[in-house]
Structures are given as C-alpha cells and as structure tokens.
Chain A
Amino acid sequence: MARAVSTRHKTIVTILAWSIGFLIFFPILWTVLTSFKTEAEAVASPPSFLNFSWTLENYTEVQSRSNYARHFYNSVVISVGSTLLGLLIAIPAAWSMAFVPTRRTKDILMWMLSTKMLPPVGVLIPIYLIFRDTGLLDSVPGLVVVLTLINLPIIVWMLYTYFKEIPGEILEAARMDGATLWSEIIHVLTPMAVPGIASTLLLNIILAWNEAFWTLNLTAANAAPLTAFIASYSSPEGLFYAKLSAASTMAIAPILIMGWFSQKQLVRGLTFGAVK
C-alpha cells in the first residue's frame, strides 16, 4: 500500500515538475515558433501552434538589416571580460571576509549588497558624464568596467558564501607548510572552491549578457551588444513581432546553449554547501 502511494506520489510530482518546467519554458518556445511565422500569422487569433507555413524570411531580413556578428562579439567580450575582472577583484575580497573577518565585515557585506538596491537610473547622469569626460562612451572597455562594478556585490557575496564552507584549518595547514598568501589563495583555496567559482562565473556571464539598462544607455554604434540588437526590432507603432522574435532567438541562443551544456556545473555550484 505504502509503495503504491509512493509511486502515485512520484508520478504526480513528476507531472507537476514537468508542467512547471514547460510553463517556464513556454515563452521561449513561443518566441522561437513566432520567429518562423509571417507577421500576419504572428498576430493571428486564434494563434496557430505548429500548423502554419514555416518561413525563414524573418531571419533573412534581420541578417540583412543588422550586423549580428558585431553585436555578438561585443556581448561576448563585455560579459566574459566583466566577469573575469570581477572574479579577479572578488576572490581576494571574499577570502579576507571569509577567513580574516573583522568587526565590520558583516556591515561591509550589507553595504555592498545595498548598492544593488539603488535604481540604476539614479546614477545614469553622473556615470554618463564621467564616461563622456574620459572618452569611454560607446566603448567596450567602458562597459566592461561598469558591468564589473554592477555585478561585483553579487560575485563577492556568492564567493564569500562558498569560501565560508571551506574549513579554515586547511588554509592554516598550508600556511604552516610555508605557503605565501597568494599561493594559499591560488593553489589551495581556489581549487577547493572551483564548483562555487564556476557557478559564480556562469551566473555572472548570464547577468552581464542580459544586462540592458547600461548597455543600451552607454553605447551607440561601436560597442552595442545584443541587447541593443533586440531593442532595434521593437516598435510601438507597427506589428513586427515575427522579426522581433527572430532577433530575440538569435540573441538568446548562445546563452541558452551555454546554459544547457553547463547546467550540471551551475546546479552543483548553486547547491554547494546547501546540504551539510
């Protein structure tokens, strides 16, 4: 009897999990399907799910109108660059907070996190003026710097949480064996925290890839990433949903593929230390 209940329970949970998964994935699936419709079919009521005449004309149009390769290149450089720079700063910072805490460590962590609560538009003008005066407007290095700073609190917090799970005694043992500070961080701490660092890296790349406020406001023609590419197909006066869907599919495809292949790593990192 207990076994029967358990099987039924399992089936219900599985169906529920698949339903929720499908519900979350549905908007992406709908975007991809719409990208293969004509503009008229994209707004047809009732909408057709699979029974429509499939076309690649939206992709052809998007390809002929925009320089996808340049936007893609900018997205890769900005998201990977800002993540690596962020890790370079955050690993030593998180190490000191996790293993050499002071009375103010908790306050500093909270203060860092509080900067994420500020609406970005509140600092748009000062940052715009700084970028203008330093010649960083519409430049890839400028965006790398600004996205590093924006995501730094999250990187530090995530790494701090992972580092806290590592026993301090191991680092002490390394120190007893004569390890310097840097070799302790590079050769002992970092290899032990690889799952955490990897998931931080992946999550931050995704955050930087999707960041739209700063990447839209601080760029024009040269440094515009894929967020600007999508924005160029949105229009409040005209039904261009099929083209917008094609552009969106092209913009999200690389990050979806990356997420798909690294999901094991991501989940492992995100649940690191969750169960003791």
Chain B
Amino acid sequence: MKNFVRALLGASALCAAMSPALAETLTIATVNNGDMIRMQKLTDDFKAKNPDIDLEWVTLEENVLRQKVTTDIATKGGQFDVMTIGTYEVPIWGKQGWLVSLNDLPASYDVDDLLPAIRGGLTVDGNLYAAPFYGESSMVMYRKDLMEKAGLEMPDAPTWDFIKEAAAKMTDKDAEIYGICLRGKAGWGENMAFLTAAANSFGAKWFDMDWKPQFDGEAWKNTLSFYVDMMNASGPPGASNNGFNENLALFQQGKCGMWIDATVAASFVTNPADSKVADQVGFALAPDNGLGKRGNWLWAWSLGIPAGSQKVDSAKKFVAWATSKDYLALVAEKEGWANVPPGTRTSLYENPEYAKIPFAKMTIDSINAADPTKPTVDEVPYTGVQFVAIPEFQGLGTAVGQQFSAALAGTTSVDEALANAQNLATREMTKAGYIK
C-alpha cells in the first residue's frame, strides 16, 4: 500500500512538473498580406512572453479566408481560436453573438488609444468585438513630375472636378501614360468599394431609411456617369478588369498619373525596389464635391475571437500582444518605422519618428475623414463607408458591381446599368424582408 501511495505521489509530481511543458495551441486564421506575414515572423517575442502558448497559422487568400471563417463561425465549427476579420464582418457577427467581447483587455492595452473611427467600426452596442491590427482608408496617389508637366498643383484636399481636369491633362496615350487608374473589376470589395465611397461624396446612398434602393436617383447617375466618362477619356485600356493589383502594377511601371486606392499602397509605390516612380509620388485626400463627405473608405483588418473557441484566455493574450503599442515598437525596432502596421493607434501618429514617413499624415487624415456610422450626406439606416453592413451585401454588392463594370467596359449604358442595379437590389431586399 505504501508503495502504491508513493507511486501515486510520484506520478502526480511528474504530471505537475510536466504541465507547463504541455503548451496550449492557438489556431489563427489570417490573410496573406505584408503586415500579417511580418507578424508571423515576429512571434518569437510572443512565445518568449507566453511559453505556454503555441501558435499555428492558417494563411489564406482574403476571399477564401472569408468563406472559410464564415462557415466555421456560423456552424460553431471551432476550428479557429483567432480570426482575422474586416470591418464588414465585425458588426454583423457581433450582433449575432458569434464573437467574444474584448471589453476586458488589461488596462496596459490602453483601448482609448485606438483611433476613434476604427474603434467605432469594431464596436457593437458598446462592446468591442475585435482589436484592429491595421487600418486603412483610401487616398489619391499621384505622380509629382507629371502633375508639374501638366502645369497643375495638387491641393491637399482636391475636388472631383480637379481630378478629372488633371487626369485629362496628364494623359498621353501614345506614351502609354494614363491620367487616372481606378478599380473596374466587378466585386463588392473591388469596384464597389471605390464606387460606393465615391458615391457618398456625390450625395448618393444605397438605401433610404425604409431600405428602398436608390440607384434610380440623380446622385447615383452623376456618380456613375462621372466615373465612366473620366475613365473612358483618361483611363487605361481594359480598365474593367483592373483591381488593386493590376493598378498597382500600372502605377509602379509609371503608367498612371493618379491612382485613388487603399492607403496601404503608399508603402508599395514608394519602395524603390518595386516601383520605378518611387521618388515622384505625392499624396492627397480622396476627392469631394463640396457636400461634406469625401470619397474615401475605411477598413481595418482586425483580430477577433469566435464564441466557440475553448481557449479564450490564451486567445485574448495573443490579440492583446499583436495589437498593442509594444508590438508597433517591436516592428519599428526590427523592420523600421515604414513597416509598422498603420491606422490603429493615436500614439503612433504622435510619435515624431513615425511622422517622418511621407504618407503618415495623409493616412491618418484620410482615416479621420471617414465615419462608418454616418457614411453618407443624408441619413441612412446602415453603417459602413464602402459597404453596407448587412449579410446580403456580399452577393448584392457583387451583382451591382457586375452591372457597373459592364458600363465601364461599354457593353451596357450607364442608364441601363443603374436600372438593372435598382431592379436587382429591390428584388433582393424584398426577398430578404427589408422592404415590407
């Protein structure tokens, strides 16, 4: 009996001694972009601070990731402990109760330091449901040399009329230089991100307060006509197939005079290793029409914890580490200030070292110019600047995007595209029960 008790005690002691070695593994779903890949390389710092937590990464292309994590969270599959999600998903999933609230992050996290516009987009009914890893808006990137050659000077806050005029003057089709490059590829996150944000500055909106689609109004007609006319006159050929990557390649090759797109592109176009025009790039706020709203969007890739996760405490530790001030300092130390994930914290933009980055000021000004809770000139029943935060928007936005892409390609007229968009949206919203 004595021996048995000894053996039992010995086994217990062994188990106790071994328990710290049995690390808990967090499975993290993330997208393939520069900032996320950099984080994966810097996780030694997290491991050193949390030796009892292992990290397993599942990196996927944005659309594949969205489909996969949506299926998992909706069915409570429990495959992931931390998910990289955008400002489109957070309000919808938060309302459904699919995400763990992050209101209890430690005081050292300094939640009040998060940029108000970004924090607002990730908060539902006073609960923060995801922590922003990096935030972005959109802005004008332009060639200073071509602007000078055209005899114009880009204002910090241009109007759409100025952009149209400058695009025409910068265009030299014989030399394959096009005054303006904009998204034309169909998709709710492609051409519709740009066009919805631009439409806000033209006074257009997707729905009125009764959720009735508004594509038959004058504001949408002005938006789409302006876009199609300007692109036909000064855009690159085949623009209806161009998304972010295609326009980035054109700009880096010196073929675009101006490009209005995500602020994250600034670090690519100013990198001499990839861009032929790195030393000639200037930045300006997205254009407006004097109606009180600019044509820029707001997006944040954020880290959320699915309600089905069994490892919430460890997941919170990871989320707090990856979105902390200390992480920004770690990236600055290892990779330089230009590679710090932008657009999440006020303190970053108060840092004099970061202020030296050429696109830092324009990025923060662009983010501050967008308000996801009041995205349009008129009052609307939805949130989201370049999207409508309802589950039906992914399908509807892409269907409308196909109509507008066809108008740009010239296979349909602007009037026809708008009429089709109105019919599509009315049918979908009636079917979904928004229109009684």
Contact = CB atoms under 8 A, between A and B. Distances in A.
Contacts of A125: 71, 74-75
A149 interface: no
A89 interface: no
B33 A124 contact: no
A137 to B, nearest CB: 6
Interface stretch (A159-167, A230-238, A255-263): A230-238
A34 B74 CA distance: 39
Contact of B62 (A65, A132, A237, A240): A237
A238 B262 CA distance: 11
A235 B61 contact: yes
A236 B243 contact: yes
Nearest to B56: A221
Interface string B60-90: 1111100110011011111110000000000
A238 B268 contact: yes
A-B pairs with lowest CB-CB distance, top 6 = A234-B61, A232-B59, A43-B249, A220-B79, A221-B56, A235-B32
Given A45-B249, A128-B71, A232-B59, A240 B79 contact: no
Nearest to B308: A132
Contacts of A39: 274
30 contacts: A40-B274, A43-B253, A45-B249, A65-B40, A124-B71, A132-B75, A132-B76, A132-B77, A138-B79, A216-B64, A220-B58, A220-B80, A224-B58, A231-B61, A232-B60, A233-B32, A235-B31, A235-B33, A235-B245, A236-B61, A236-B244, A236-B245, A237-B245, A237-B262, A238-B34, A238-B245, A239-B245, A239-B249, A239-B268, A240-B32
Nearest to B30: A232
A43 B57 CA distance: 28
A231 B31 contact: no
B175 interface: no
A217 B69 CA distance: 9
Given A138-B79, A216-B60, 14 more contacts: A40-B274, A125-B71, A128-B72, A128-B77, A137-B77, A137-B78, A216-B64, A220-B29, A221-B56, A221-B57, A232-B59, A234-B32, A234-B64, A235-B245
Nearest to B60: A231
B231 interface: no
A136 to B, nearest CB: 11
Contacts of A232: 32, 58-61
Contact of B71 (A138, A217, A224, A235): A217
Main secondary structure of the interface of B (DSSP, over half): mixed
Interface string A205-216: 000000000001
A228 B75 CA distance: 21
A44 interface: yes
A217 B77 contact: no
A138 B61 CA distance: 18
Interface string A226-252: 001001111111111000000000000
A129 interface: yes
B420 interface: no
Contacts of B243: 236
Contacts of A138: 79
Interface in B225-262: 243-245, 248-249, 252-253, 255, 262
Interface of A: 39-40, 43-45, 65, 124-125, 128-129, 132, 137-138, 216-217, 220-221, 224, 228, 231-240
Interface string B24-60: 0001010111100100100000000000000011111
B21 interface: no
A212 B7 CA distance: 52
Contacts of A228: 58, 60
B264 interface: yes
B58 A221 contact: yes
B273 interface: yes
B108 to A, nearest CB: 30
Contacts of A217: 67-68, 71
Nearest to B249: A43
Contacts of A45: 249, 253, 255
Contacts of A65: 37, 40
A217 to B, nearest CB: 6
Contacts of A237: 33, 62, 244-245, 262, 264
Output the residue of B77, B264, B274 with the most chain A CB within 10 A: B77
A238 B252 contact: no
Nearest to B62: A236
Output the residue of A124, A137, A224, A231 with the most chain B CB within 10 A: A231
A39 B274 CA distance: 7
A129 B189 CA distance: 29
A220 B253 contact: no
Contacts of B31: 235
Nearest to A232: B59
A184 B244 CA distance: 62
A125 B77 CA distance: 11
A202 to B, nearest CB: 28
B78 A132 contact: yes
Contact of A221 (B27, B245, B274): B27
